[in-house]
Amino acid sequence: MRYTIMLQSWGFDPWFAAHTAEMFMEGCGVARVCAVDRGVFRIRGEGGEVPAELAGRLAYHTDNPADLPCVGDWVTAQWHSDGTAGIIHRVFPRRTVLRRKAAGDGYAMQMIAANIDTAFVVQSCHYDFNPGRLERYLVMLADGGVEPVVVLTKTDLVTPDDLANLQAVVAAVTPARVIALSSVTGAGLDALRQALAPGRTYCLLGSSGVGKTTLLNQLTRGQAGAEALHGHAHATRAVSATGEGTHTTTRRQLTMLDGGALVVDTPGMREVGTVAAADGVDAGFADIALLAGECRYADCRHEHEAGCAVRAAVDRGELSASHYRNYLKLRKEAEFSELSQLDRRRKDKAFGKMVKSVKKHMGY
């Protein structure tokens, strides 16, 4: 499988190239998953973007749905029908992941995207601003190894003092870079464009209506080939009575901008359930993790233990009480998720042993 300039432009760097030998299959090449919509895939290889399906072995012998291809994955693919369609055989190892607990009461993991370098966490300055949700996104990104940048949209709807207060709240939650912008006035858009580098992959994350699709449209406005890539500009809908936009993105897709940066747009998320381990939660709360190093006990849970530096900081007013409470809540979610996954693995292992025993008894 060749390592070409085209693949490099779509993010296939030396880290992925190092895995080509183990991913090699005769008659196949390398492609990147550019879109996934209800089990329908589109991949981009040297011949351009084409629809693709999963090979039978990948589709029916993959135990964990999270191991199936998602947007941003690099895959081993075979082309057919004169290069107008493809079959995905293997998924390359992932350098970074974006994943969450699937919506509902279960504990299944849902992949959002893979091999993302930087995620723009988009929050509206008007109605959507929510520090607790921002913290959940930060835990998700820390768990997956993705760099966060916070984007505050709709700055034209708040006063300069209000914006400064919101930026201060974000600074108290994370040391990540913050870009404030308005799609109406254009303020801040140049700063966002300058944050995009060719060959790097970015993702827009946020709730429905915060302006992700409008933002992507402005980044691609006037771009040659944008309509050819996706058939039309990304659709937006009228602003609701609350002043917020309504949800329009229905699938995850990867777009290359004129400057060579790659951007994944995602549907808005009503739930951001964590699947991170406790260590992943700590990584998402860097300020609390730093304070924890001063606790009297190495295994301090920061709840009722004597000599807890985290609780002392809360008592002194140096650490936000709501920030601290959300940390404890996410730690408990992570621990419960870990126990649930461990219990499920034990049950699966026991079931596998039972099946083998029955087959042996029946002479298979």
Which of 83, 84, 78, 23 has the alpha carbon at shortest distance from 55?
Answer: 78
Bridge pairing between strands 177-180 and 147-153? parallel
Dump pLDDT digits (tens) for 65-90.
889 999 999 999 999 999 999 999 99
Which of 38, 32, 10 has the alpha carbon at shortest distance from 251?
Answer: 38
Is residue 321's pLDDT more than 90?
no
Domains in the chain, ordered, with CATH? 5-91 (2.40.50.140), 97-223+243-265 (3.40.50.300), 278-348 (1.10.40.50)
Dump pLDDT digits (tens) for 4-46.
788 999 999 999 999 999 999 999 999 999 999 888 899 999 8
Average pLDDT, the chain: 82
Q: What are phi and psi of 220, to 5 degrees?
A: -100, 0
Res 210: pLDDT: 74
Q: What residue spans of 86-221 are helical by DSSP H?
A: 131-144, 160-173, 189-194, 212-220
Is residue 1's pLDDT more than 70?
no
| Half-sphere exposure at residue 212, Cβ-oriented, CA atoms within 13 angstroms | 29
Dump pLDDT digits (tens) for 238-263.
444 344 444 444 578 899 999 999 99
Res 358: pLDDT: 57
Is residue 364's pLDDT more than 80?
no
More confident site: 314 or 341: 314
Looking at 200-209, 220-229, 299-308, which range is the least confident one? 220-229
For the chain, the straight-line distance linking the first and the last C-alpha, in angstroms and rounded, comes to 40
